[in-house]
Structure 1
Amino acid sequence: MYYGGYKPFVGAGQPIKRWANAELLLGVPKSRAGAFGQGLLNGHVPAQHGPADGDGTDGAGRTERKPIIPFTVEDITARVCEEMLAELRDKPAPSDRVELLSVDRRRFSKAVRTAEADDPVAVLLDTPDPDGPDHTGGHWEEDYDARREYLCVRIGAWKQELVTSVFIGFDIKGSTLHTEFYTYVLSPLPKSFHLADRLPATIGGKLMWRIAWDVTLSAPGELLRLIANPLRERLPSRFGTDTVGKLVSQPADTSEFRLGRYALASVDCGALTSVRELAPNRDFHHFFQESDTIKYIQIIERHLLQIVGDFLRDHDVDTREHEANQTNILQQNFGANSTNNFGGNQSVGNTKTTQTFGNNSGVTREARQP
């Protein structure tokens, strides 16, 4: 997907919660104690061996570890995508399934049009095709033309009026697995929009007279808006733009009024918002809509942590750090959502959680631990 402006997740709505986590990729300890602890995490108790196993340390006192079975970002992304669908939609009984669930892999790239030097009317899209082949080797690019892939887990509830989207990204750098977790919600449409469902099926003579009378009364105000809106759009904004520009040589200006003096060298042509994002209410219509948003975010988060933990164990990675981080993240959920204001900013360890829920989004709470 090509996007413009700052946020890549165009169309997802308002941000609700986010956290990031970094885990060192260390092999399972070879010692008997390490193997026993790893076995418990895998759900079984390993067979005990004799003293020949040793204490699992080398001559310098360092813990001896098994080599990690190599894996890539593509491997862990595919595993999460496959098991998320299976655990939430395919395996459960029909009454327990998460309805209207989708899990897609999406690439996001900044879109900038630049003028070609040889052709005054040519337009070049200065970014790679997000849906084309990925040549990044499983790593995220780090430049202005970068594109990055995220898993998008989306759930439509309340007859698709409440849409929760979770974006999950992975990267591996410096023997460290970095995980990003972003959640957005499209809140329900204004109730007045549903009046369209109650309009008459046919327009009769009496209704035509009413429409004509209403149009006549509203004509002066509409005329004023037609004049004022274009002027307001052309006024300079007090906020800066983050458009990525690429300076190019301009073609010869042969226009009668030398309009080339005012032509832009580059234009950010990516999407800034979606039609659906322009319409929703800022507040939920019902308390249960707010609680369902929290519910689905926590369900996806819990399954993600479990799937990643199983994946790491399958590749002989020591998951003690993952288990500790998982506990921190789940405890943050419990602490934030057990309050009356459904809001808060928390930072525990190497995870950061930002939550703003519902009609009380202006109320925040901060809690920090060393």
Structure 2
Amino acid sequence: MAGVRLPQHRYSRTESTRLLCAGVYQDPSFRRRVISELVDHQERPVAPPSGIDVLPVLAHALRVTRQESRTAALMLAAWCGFLLSDVVMFWDSLSDRWGEGAEVGFGDVFTAFYQGDEKLTGGLPLPWSQFYAFVALALWFAHVMRTQSADGRRADLPDPVARAAAGAGRGVTLLAAAFALFYWYRYVSGVLDGTVQTPYPLLFPLAVALIAWWHQTAQRRALCRWLSRWTFRRATQPDLPPGPLYEDLLTAIRREQEAALTLYEPDSPFVGMGSPRDAWSFAMELRRRAAPSANGAPVPHQNEGPLTAERALTMLEGQLVRLRESAALTGKDRLREIEVDRVVYLPGGVGRTEELRIGGTADAGLPTPDGRRPVNGRPVYDPAQVAAHLAEAVDEGGEGRRVFLRVRIGAWHEQVVVTVLVRLHTQGGMLVLEVAPHVLGPVRKDFAAMDALVEKLPETWVRGALRALGNGPAIGVDTAIGALGTIARDIGTGWSDRDSVPDVPRFSLRQVAGTKGLSPYQEMDVTRYIKTIQERIVNGVRQALQEHGYQTDQFEQHVYQLGGGSVFIQDMSGGAVSTGRHGSAHAHPSAPAHGAPRTDPR
């Protein structure tokens, strides 16, 4: 049965998308979280894309779980065969010892397991299948400890804690390896001295290793086929599984990733944007210029009404577009790829597919006065809804529904993403500007380690066999846990109520897979991008004031660019300024400038 084909998105072929797809092969916990957030929480919209397309990531995660389930089924068959061989061997041994006609039951066999047998276990009071099961658990636990140690290093734990975790991981690994060697020592020595006369303790671990070899080969083949540097941009990525569940999910995610709208919760509105940098804002009183311009020409737009947020944002967009065009003409600076668009933030409370009337309210979750939801047949992420909210909210300056100018730069092959959100409103004769920069750091380095793995392929059969023999037991436990989780999720999805309580984006794949540390060069570039964008914002505000007939002398006098990247505004008549993450706004009432008659804004 054909699967659900993935649509193309502007971020479907980015480096970040490729690395996150590779991450679901590298990190089982990341893979499980991808599926949990995108499939299990169907009521939860996805966060703004920030340089990735989550659909290929989900498709690869689901593909790995299907492969994992097949491997787990083969491992289960091998382990059942191993256990059955022990039962048969001990049953035959008891029958031989007790003589013909003796009745041997399962209880007798179970008791004999832990009494030892000189010809089967060399006197060891444990059947070989259970002995090897303990070896597998020990090797799996050592693998988990090594993974946790690596996670601790990525989490920037204090050095003593990170060293202790790494030491514990190494210690557990050595103990597990010693336990595995003890198993093989007992078997080989028993075969040599004649106290062990069964081949199954050798055959079934080899069968487990063979299954692990097949599993790892399938994973590496997938990486080479879809996710290597040479194939990713032209390869057709795997489909989603067939069925209405994934068809509906694809439609919803595609609509949300392409929409210039997102739902939010007040405690965490900017999910997916990354770490906030120093935000800044200012407020100033708008005063009309009473006199003609310097050359005697009439003041532009003097009689066209007050300056609105729509007009000011249009001029800011023009400044940023010209910046992009000039950068494209003069070099390879990432500013040539700057993305500028408008996005509206709506308070949560409405379902991702719930049909509402178009626009008309600053809070999509509020009912109408008669207590019912307004219905007009369009989901909140529908393009018509988005256009209506953008048009209605741009000049309202409300608390709930907010329109931002979103300026985005994806640098270092989308490894560093700078997003600057700009909000401007002009109510009450005031101009208020708010600027909030955010930075997403590079994707985890262990995800990129996939490239080194692919470059080593194909590997020799000896190396592959040794690797599978060592990793086979841990792979068996890992795939068993993953398969049980898949079964539980499928059962839960089948019985769950799809009409869950509406939610907002709470999880960003890109942000979870990112790191906070930047290299010195990356930090320099981030600082340069933010400063350049801020300079264009200031120019855009200046242009808007000049071209709409407002006084700019106070603005020109008190706006400076500081070395720290902040915009500093000195005492401003009738205005306020706030800079920095912990800044506050202070009003500075003062008299009009000498020789400049005060006029009320119109």
Indicate whether the TM-score tops 0.5.
yes
Q: Name the CA distance, whole Å, in 1 between partners of 2:476 and 2:450.
A: 22
- 2:428 paired with 1:174: yes
SS for the counterpart of 1:281 is coil
Matched, 1:280 2:514: yes
Note the C-alpha offset of 1:12: 1.5
Q: How does 1:4-83 map to 2 (within 5 A)?
A: 4-5=264-265, 6-30=267-291, 39=294, 46=295, 69-83=305-319
The answer to whether residue 387 in structure 2 is matched with residue 154 in structure 1 is no
Which of 504, 521, 524 is the equivalent residue of 1:270? Answer: 504
From 187, 197, 215, the equivalent of 2:441 is 187
* Deviation of the 1:112 alpha carbon: 2.1
Rounded to whole Å, the distance in 2 between the matches of 1:211 and 1:287 is: 40
Letter paired with 1:73? A
Which of residues 387, 395, 402 in structure 2 aligns to 1:139? 395
Instruction: Report the equivalent of 1:108.
Output: 345
Matched with 2:262 is: 2
Structure 2 equivalent of residue 252 of structure 1: none
The 3 A distance-change label for structure 1 pair 113 and 209 is farther
Q: Tell me if 1:214 matches 2:471.
A: yes
Aligned AA for 2:284?
E
Shift of 1:208: 5.9
Displacement after TM superposition at 1:352 (Å): 2.0
> Residues of 2 paired with 1:25 and 1:2: CA distance?
31
Name 1:290's counterpart in structure 2: 523
Relative to structure 1, is the Cα distance of residues 276 and 348 closer, same or farther in structure 2, using a 3 angstrom cutoff? farther
Shift of 1:71: 3.5
Bigger Rg, which one: 2
Cα distance in 2 for partners of 1:347, 1:216 equals: 65
C-alpha distance 291-313 of structure 1, shift in aligned 2 (>3 A): same
Structure-2 change in CA distance of 1:212 and 1:151 (3 Å): farther
- Can you list the C-alpha shifts for 1:224-257, whole angstroms capped at 9, x where unaligned? 89999xxxxxxxxxxxxxxxxxxxxxxxxxxxxx
For the residue of structure 2 that corresponds to 1:88, the secondary structure is: helix
Name the CA distance, whole Å, in 2 between partners of 1:195 and 1:89: 36
Provide structure 1 residue ranges, at least 5 long, that are not aligned to the other structure.
40-45, 49-65, 115-121, 229-258, 338-343, 356-363
Partner of 2:536: 303
Identity of aligned residues (%): 20
How many aligned positions are there?
Answer: 279
CA RMSD of aligned residues (A): 4.1
Could you tell me which amino acid in structure 2 is paired with residue 103 of structure 1? V
Report if aligned partners of 1:112, 1:269 keep a CA contact under 8 Å in 2: yes
Q: Distance in 2 between matches of 1:300 and 1:137?
A: 24
Q: 1:279 to 1:347 in 2, by over 3 A?
A: farther
Seen in structure 2, the aligned counterparts of structure 1 residues 346 and 222 have a Cα distance that, compared at 3 Å, is: farther
Q: Classify the secondary structure of the residue corresponding to 1:189.
A: coil
Q: Deviations over 1:116-148 (max 9, x none)?
A: xxxxxx9667555561313536324636xx332
In the superposition, relative to structure 1, how do residues 277 and 317 fare at CA in structure 2: closer, same or farther (>3 Å)? same
**2:72 maps to what in 1?**
none
Equivalent-residue separation in structure 2 for 1:152 and 1:312 (angstroms): 21
Residue equivalent to 1:354: 580
1:332-353 superposed Cα distances (whole Å, 9 cap, x missing partner): xx2x36xxxxxx9999652222
| Counterparts in 2 of 1:369 and 1:142: CA distance versus 1, 3 Å | closer
One-letter identity of the residue aligned with 1:138: V
8 Å contact kept, 1:69–1:316: no
Q: Report the structure, 1 or 2, having the larger helix content.
A: 2
Deviation for aligned residue 1:319 = 0.9
Q: Following the alignment from structure 1 to structure 2, what is the Cα–Cα distance between the partners of residues 265 and 83?
A: 45
TM-score w.r.t. length of structure 2? 0.40
Cα distance in 2 for residues equivalent to 1:160 and 1:188: 8
Give secondary structure in 1 for the equivalent of 2:280.
strand
Q: 1:280 to 1:181 in 2, by over 3 A?
A: same
The corresponding residue for 1:312 is 545
Equivalents in 2 of 1:76, 1:179: separation in Å?
10
Q: Which moved more, 1:210-219 or 1:307-316?
A: 210-219
Matched letter for residue 148 of structure 1 = R
Distance in 2 between residues matched to 1:100 and 1:295, nearest whole Å: 15
Give the distance between the partners of 1:164 and 1:15, measured in 2 at CA.
Answer: 10
- Does the CA-based 8 Å contact 1:100-1:157 persist in structure 2? no
Write the distance in 2 (CA, Å) between the matches of 1:211 and 1:325. 69
TM-score (structure 1 length as normaliser) = 0.62
> 1 or 2, which has the higher strand percentage?
1
**Separation in 1, partners of 2:517, 2:483:** 30
List gaps (5 residues or longer) in structure 2. Answer: 1-260, 357-363, 366-379, 486-494, 589-602
Aligned to 2:122: none
SS in 2 for 1:133: helix
Q: Which amino acid aligns with 1:354?
A: G
Quick one: higher RCO (CA 8 Å, sep 6+), 1 or 2?
A: 1
Residue number in structure 2 paired with 1:197: 451
- 19-28 or 178-187, which deviates more: 19-28
Once the two structures are TM-superposed, the CA of residue 72 in structure 1 deviates from its matched residue by 2.4
Secondary structure at 2:323 match in 1: helix
1:326 corresponding residue in structure 2: 559
